[in-house]
Amino acid sequence: MPLNLPNLLHPVADIPHLDRLTPPSAIPGGSFEVTGSSLVKDGVLPEAFFGETPASLDLARPTRARIRVPAGAISSDLFLRYRSHGDEVSSNILHANIGVPMAEELHLTSNPVVDAEGNLFAMVSGPRGETVPVSIYRIARDLQITPFVRGLMNVSALAFNAAGTLFASSRSEGTIYRVTPDGSVTTFAEGMGIATGIAFDANHNLYVGDRSGTIFKLSPAGEIFVFATLEPSVAFYHLCFAPDGNLLVTAPTTSSNQPIYSIDPDGNTKVYFSGLGRPQGMAFDVDGNLYVAASLRGDRGIVRIWKSQTTGEMQAELMVAGNDLVGLCFLDDGCVALAGHTTLFHADLGIEGKTLI
């Protein structure tokens, strides 16, 4: 714990004080913003530490600082320290909630998914047109990682149906695959264009986003219908069902001001929320709040979106800071799996997620 040891000949009048830390969590590479007082004194920049791990400052002002989470940092006490008249002066501490890696060397393009037993599944998508040695990994509750599916090309999204069967889309083949609990693979549907995001509704229909602009609806028997048409995406469509039964869709483009679309059961489309940069994977909590991997006012991470009970307007705030997050999946005990491009992180947000199966 940091100590303040002022020289009695030079008493310290303005010890740095930390008031608030936002957002609630971050992963390495993301930044916390600190508000307080005397964070910079006489033009001298403080040093920042997460426990014993030093961190760099993205910004430092007397009442505000942005502190980047270094690689290898874990949840710990954040404090600032600088020297005044030869004395080492430290601030009070604030607890920093930091996600830690649980699986690496992946290629994640959308949400991971979790089964009824708490096993987590994540893809290695690979360059388009190339088959990777392992297409899907299974991560047990004790964090043991094992290959689950081999031989699928460019897995783009995963989803479980109500029976607990895993489905996977392939963007290069335009195919939807069905995967048994032992990892055996069969073809469920073909001809899906550049198949990306997938999601099941309450009636066991599967919805598939074709990056060229079509949302397909597949019946349990595999019959294919055109459900809705949206603008083309430069990346992937990401699909998620809201508690009211409407399908939410993100379609990342190069714009910094993009919407999340809501499509009702008849295929009518409207804007659910706008003002995000490159929105991608989504998930709901049990209270109906939406979480999406996106940029909000220039900060990348996981954004929480909810409707204000007083004004009725949609609100948004950054919940997790992380520069390369593309999706998320709620686990049990208030925890969440956060999908970066190559790394899956584990964080405790104290949020109960809405089950998808």
Confidence check: pLDDT of 165 > 70: yes
Question: Interior CA angle at 68 toward 62 and 73, to 5°?
Answer: 125
20: Cα separation from own chain's centroid: 23
Contact between 231 and 239 under an 8 Å Cβ cutoff? The reply is no
67-98: pLDDT as tens digits:
999 999 999 999 999 876 667 889 999 999 99
Per-residue pLDDT tens digits for 184-230: 999 999 999 999 999 999 999 999 999 988 999 999 988 999 999 99
Q: What's the sign of the alpha-carbon dihedral 268, 225, 234, 153?
A: positive
pLDDT of residue 272: 97
Domain assignment of residue 177, yes or no = yes
- From 98, 126, 147, give the residue that closes a domain: 98
- Measure the CA–CA gap between 126 and 201, rounded to whole angstroms: 28
Average pLDDT, the chain: 92
The reply to whether 11 falls in a domain is no
Domain end point (choices 98, 116, 150) = 98
| Same domain, yes or no: 214 and 260 | yes
CA gap 34, 91 in Å, rounded: 12
Check pLDDT > 50 for residue 11: no
Shared domain check, 83 and 228? no
Question: Rounded CA gap, 131 and 110, in Å?
Answer: 18
Q: Determine the pLDDT at residue 160.
A: 97
CA dihedral for 218, 108, 321, 118, sign (positive or negative): positive
- Is residue 133 domain-resident? yes
pTM: 0.93
312 domain residue, yes or no: yes
3-state secondary structure 305-357: EEECCCCCCEEEEEEEECCCCCEEEECCCCEEEEECCCCEEEEECCCCECCCC
Mark whether 189 and 71 lie in a shared domain.
Answer: no
Structural contact between residues 39 and 63, judged by C-beta atoms closer than 8 angstroms? yes
Looking up tokens 């961190």 gives 55
Domain count of the fold of the chain: 2
Q: Are residues 202 and 341 in the same domain?
A: yes
Query: How far apart (Å, rounded) are the C-alpha atoms in residues 138 and 173?
Result: 23
Chosen domain end from 98, 125, 152: 98
Q: Give counts: helices (H), strands (E), the chain.
A: 0, 33
302 and 207 in one domain?
A: yes
Q: Which amino acid is at 108?
A: L
- Bridge partners (DSSP) of residue 166 are 160, 179
Are 199 and 57 in the same domain? Answer: no
Q: Are residues 194 and 305 in the same domain?
A: yes
| 50-64, 78-92, 193-207, 281-295, range with the lowest pLDDT | 78-92
Residue 303 above 90 pLDDT? yes
CA distance 341 to 106: 7
Report how far residue 303's alpha carbon sits from residue 274's, in angstroms, rounded to the nearest whole number: 12
Please check whether residues 190 and 329 belong to one and the same domain. yes
Q: What CATH number is associated with residue 92?
A: 2.60.40.10
Contacts with 247 (C-beta within 8 Å, 6 or more apart), sequence order:
199, 201, 207, 215, 227, 228, 239, 240, 241, 262, 263
Is residue 212 domain-resident? yes
Structural domain for 219, as ranges: 101-348
- Percent of the chain exceeding pLDDT 90 equals 83
- Looking at the domain assignment, is residue 281 inside a domain? yes
Average pLDDT of span 100-120 = 96
Could you write out the DSSP letters of every residue in 154-215? SEEEEEE-TTS-EEEEETTTTEEEEE-TT--EEEEE---SSEEEEEE-TTS-EEEEETTTEE
Q: Is the pLDDT of residue 236 over 60?
A: yes
CATH at 328 = 2.130.10.10
250 neighbors 230 (Cβ within 8 angstroms): no
For residues 79 and 184, state if they share a domain.
no
Q: Does residue 5 lie in a domain region?
A: no
Whether 135 and 217 map to the same domain: the answer is yes
* Residues 181, 38 share a domain: no
Structure confidence by residue, pLDDT tens digits, 129-141: 899 999 999 999 9
Closest CA to 330 of 339, 321, 322: 339
Q: Calculate mean pLDDT across residues 44-51.
A: 92
Q: Do 115 and 75 share a structural domain?
A: no
CA dist., res. 280 & res. 197, Å (int): 10
DSSP per-residue letters across 110-147: S--EE-TTS-EEEEB--STT-B-S-SEEEE-TT--EEE
Going by pLDDT thresholds of 50, 70 and 90, the confidence category of residue 276 is very high
Beta bridge partners of 302: 293, 320
Domain annotation covers residue 12: no
Q: How far apart are CA 230 and CA 209, in angstroms?
A: 10
Q: Which has the higher per-residue pLDDT, 222 or 352?
A: 352
Mean pLDDT score, 8-26:
78
Q: Is residue 5 scored above 50 in pLDDT?
A: no
CA gyration radius, the chain: 23
What DSSP string runs through 12-56?
-S---EEEEEESSEE-TT-EEEEEEESSSBTTBPPEEEETTEEEE
